[in-house]
Structures are given as C-alpha cells and as structure tokens.
Amino acid sequence: MVLEIHTEIRETGPDRYATLIDGGWAIGSSLNGGYLQLPVVRAVLAAEGHPHPVAVTTDFLTAPHAGEAEIVVERLRTGKTVGTSRATLIQDGQPVLVSSVVTSTLDSSNPDVDLAPPIELPSPDQCTRIRSDVMPGTQLGLMDHVDVRLAPEFANLLRGRPDGSMALRGWARMVDGRDPDPLVCLLAADAFPPVTFTIGRYGWAPTVQLTTYLRVLPAPGWLRAELRGRVLASGWFDEDCTIRDSAGRLVAQSRQIARIPRVPVPTEN
C-alpha cells in the first residue's frame, strides 16, 4: 500500500523540506491540527525511510497562516525496526508546531488482540453530514475535504442541543473518495467536532497536545470513529478518538488535551 499524497513537500536540504499550507483546511479561521500534521509526518517518512508512522505526538504552539512553511527534521533514533524523529513546522521564523514521530512498518493483517468495544453506527446514508456551511457565520472548510457524518442521535448537537455525554460517533472519509491510509487516519482523528459540544460549549477548543497511534493499515472504504472525553478539570479537557476501518479493525487511537472553550454559544435553543 502506497501512502497517498495529501500535502506536497519539497526537499530543500538535508532533513529540510518546504511545504505550502492550504488555508482551506480550516474551521473558521483556525487551520485544522490533523491537517497540519500531514506534511510534517510526510517529511519524517521521507527523511527516515521507515514506511509508516506508528505514534505521532504534536505540540501546537501558535496559529499558522496559509502560505509557505518550512519543516526541519531531527532524527533522534534510526533503528532497523523503529525510528524516532522530531519535526518542526516553521513559519516566519517561528515554530508553529513540533511533532515527535515514531516510525516502523504496520501490518495489513488483523490485530492479534483487540479488546476495544465495537463502534456501532447506522450506515453513512442514515447519518448527518457536517457541511462546511452548517454553522452560521463560521465556514468549516475542512468539511469540503473530509466527509464527516455524525450518528443521528448526535445531530442534535448541530442544533445546539447538548446531551452531556462527552461522546460522539460517526463516519469519515475523504471527499474525493480516496481510500484511507495512515495519514488519512491521522486526519480523521482530529476532524470531528470537540466532545465539549455535547456539554453545550460550542466555542473553539484549542488542542495543545495531540497523540495518535496507528495500529494496522486500514482497509478501503469508510472509517468509523468514536470520540470520548472523560474529565474537565483545571481548565482542560481530554478527548480520545478510536478509529476502525470498513472491516471493523482498530486502525488508530488518538488522545488530546485541550483548553475548555470559553464561549458557550449555542446557535439555537
């Protein structure tokens, strides 16, 4: 399986790459964190030689803007089976984000053990697609690239009716119909609304640190996702995302810590 190209990178020197940040992959004016990781992980794979990301942790430092950016890769461990690199996305001379990327080779076979619960969902046709114009006054450009569909009971969120569950379930795939790969999984893990929507906090939830593990190569077709937040404390909330492929295999797990949105603005009541 070949990794699809989602975001071009161009080598400019040893372990240095140039990329172009596309302003379309945004929620309102904020570029999506899942998207921003893709050129960075691609740069690490190009620099290192292992075929797949296994663990990616990103610290988001400052908001980038559309346009040119540079990626600097530092190879920290170059083992035969496992590599570890750090990569920094730089714009206007400032670090925008820093990722720790563990690389190795993912199997395309089934996991040897899978004790996570299944993700039960009605078919994509019976779910509610999040369209880029669903929130008045806020353009969700990301949703023109990723087709995200929420289970029917969660569609109430889009009408400002929180259920307090801190949980969301839904489908994701690329709008162009392309089959998923580990980079699409990285993207899908950060493409859903924050679970704080379910407790009536509809504001922007700035992710500070995001970790995604990639477990096996995904089968073609839709990805199904379950998001779950557990604790709000000290101004922060956590959010886990579990992703299964069309064959039901667990392909990715993510966890992030983010600031609790300050602005609880329901769109209707």
Provide the binding-site residues for a second copy, judged by CB under 8 A: 54-55, 57, 59, 61-62, 76-77, 81-82, 84, 86, 95, 98, 100, 102, 104-107, 110-116, 166, 199, 208-209, 211, 213, 215-216, 229-238, 250, 253, 255, 257, 259
| Residue number, 170 or 229, with CB nearest to a second copy | 229
Please name the residues in contact with 159: beta carbons below 8 A apart, sequence gap of 6 or more. 267, 268
| Residue number, 98 or 174, with CB nearest to a second copy | 98
Token match 């998923």: residue? 180
Q: What is the C-alpha to C-alpha distance for residues 150 and 38, in angstroms, rounded to an integer?
A: 24
The tokens for 218 are 């995904």
| Residue number, 27 or 199, with CB nearest to a second copy | 199
CB of 253 to a second copy, least distance (A): 6
Q: What is the C-alpha to C-alpha distance for residues 140 and 137, in angstroms, rounded to an integer?
A: 10
CB of 176 to a second copy, least distance (A): 27
| Residue number, 114 or 144, with CB nearest to a second copy | 114
Q: Residue 6 in contact with residue 38, Cβ under 8 Å?
A: yes
CB of 54 to a second copy, least distance (A): 6
Residue among 4, 79, 92, 91 nearest 41 (CA): 4
Please work out, in degrees rounded to the nearest 5, the angle formed at the alpha carbon of residue 55 by the alpha carbons of 10 and 104: 75
CB of 27 to a second copy, least distance (A): 20
